[in-house]
Structure 1
Amino acid sequence: MARLRRTPPHDLDPEARALYDQITSGPRGTFMVDAEGGLTGPFNAMLLSPPVGDPLQELGAAIRYRSSLTDRARELAVLVVAGHQDSAFERAAHEPIARDLGFTEEQLQALRDGSPLALPDPAEAAVLAVTRALVAKGDLDDEEYAALGERELFELTTLVGYYTTLALQLRVFRV
């Protein structure tokens, strides 16, 4: 049972309404809006504190739409975090994107349960190994650190932290 009521946009205070409008007018569009106009997923909670919610959603937009990570690398990493955090919402939101990018059901299952996954693309295999190390131990050894360029590594660690934060909020608010 959800703990947080979804507030329709006409019931939001001006600051929360401005954030609502920013989220729904951006690249996410109305994907995260329910039939009554309330925000779903992690975005509903962001309306509780627009001064914190706005930079948080902007960080997510930067990770999703403006980082140097490939779409497949990004979705791979998001689904590793979702599997590690057992975040059903993040899996439900990102598995269709991954399917559209060519991930198979077998690969998605391995990302859900953390089982071994051989990826033919060496760059994707490196993202998988590094992301799994980050969620498992919160650090990298020298070999894992060297597997990616520093910019990609910075963006990937930011992605892991962002989606871990969302998984925590989704769990606490029972989304």
Structure 2
Amino acid sequence: MNPTPARPPRFPQLTMDQLDAAQKPLGEQIVKVSSIGIGGPYNSMLRSPVLGQLLFDLFHYLRWETSIPLHLNEFAILIIARQWRSQVEWFAHAPIAAKAGLSDRIIAELKTGKRPSDMAEDEAAVYDFVTELTTTRKVSDATYAKAKRVFSDQQIVDLTAVAGNYIMVAMLLAMSEASVPPGKEPPFAEGEG
């Protein structure tokens, strides 16, 4: 029985040497901050360097300058990664979330698709807000009131933008069929719901 040959990637992984004059400045910025180099969503973004630069600038704000505390920001990203089963998003952000102070228990429970137990008030507000917004496409008065108890208006807007941005990242990754770096184990098993 002959094994099925692997099909070529939709977007072969670029290297810095392959970048043209329009792509190179963005590639150089990416490698300074990315734990996955120009892989993951960046590999797709480099194919549209003007859009890629705009997205990179947005990513910078939503990762490093957002008004949401880092562990909660990363929690929101992981919620999206789990909803989309985004291998690359989870692979890249779970270690950042843990380093930022999100508990290993919360990360592990979320990874299984469960609502994490024993969350702090701000963690529960993030989980409920992001999950409700992304699954029902609205936020109930009760969920909004919970978020408002712990977050400012700016934080609620930033949290919404983080969720939406990382849905877009998950979409880029899904469209391009991006995977974790070679030799690394994907976080979600094949067929895992």
> What residue in structure 1 maps to residue 48 of structure 2?
49
1:68 and 1:136 mapped to 2: Cα distance?
24
The equivalent position to 2:158 in structure 1, one of 149, 155, 168, is 155
Pairs within 5 Å for 1:99-138: 99-138=98-137
Report which of the two structures shows the higher radius of gyration computed on alpha carbons. 2
| Between 97-106 and 46-55, the greater mean CA deviation after superposition | 97-106
Contact 1:82 1:112 in 2 (8 A): no
What root-mean-square deviation, in Å, do the aligned CA atoms of Structure 1 and Structure 2 show?
1.6
The change in CA–CA distance for 1:168 and 1:120 in structure 2 (over 3 A counts) is closer
The residue matched to 2:22 in structure 1 has which SS? Answer: helix
Which residue identity is paired with 2:125? A
> What residue in structure 2 maps to residue 5 of structure 1?
12
Deviations 1:95-136 (A, max 9, x none): 111222343443213222331323442112111110111221
The residue matched to 2:23 in structure 1 has which SS? Answer: helix
Deviant stretches of 4+, over 4 Å: none
Q: Please state if 1:17 is matched with 2:21.
A: no
| C-alpha displacement of 1:23 | 1.8
| Between 47-56 and 146-155, the greater mean CA deviation after superposition | 146-155
Structure 1: state its 5+ residue gaps: 34-38
Contact 2:36 2:92 in 1 (8 A): no
Q: Please state if 1:95 is matched with 2:99.
A: no
| C-alpha displacement of 1:69 | 0.5
> What residue in structure 2 maps to residue 40 of structure 1?
39
The structure with the greater share of residues assigned to helix is: 1
1:78 and 1:113 mapped to 2: Cα distance?
15
Structure 2: state its 5+ residue gaps: 1-6, 179-193
1:104 and 1:69 mapped to 2: Cα distance?
17
Residue identity (%): 28
2:110 and 2:70 mapped to 1: Cα distance?
16
| TM-score, normalised by the number of residues in structure 2 | 0.80
Number of aligned residue pairs: 167
| C-alpha displacement of 1:47 | 0.6
> What residue in structure 1 maps to residue 184 of structure 2?
none
| TM-score, normalised by the number of residues in structure 1 | 0.88
> What residue in structure 2 maps to residue 74 of structure 1?
73
Contact 2:129 2:143 in 1 (8 A): yes
Which residue identity is paired with 2:31? T
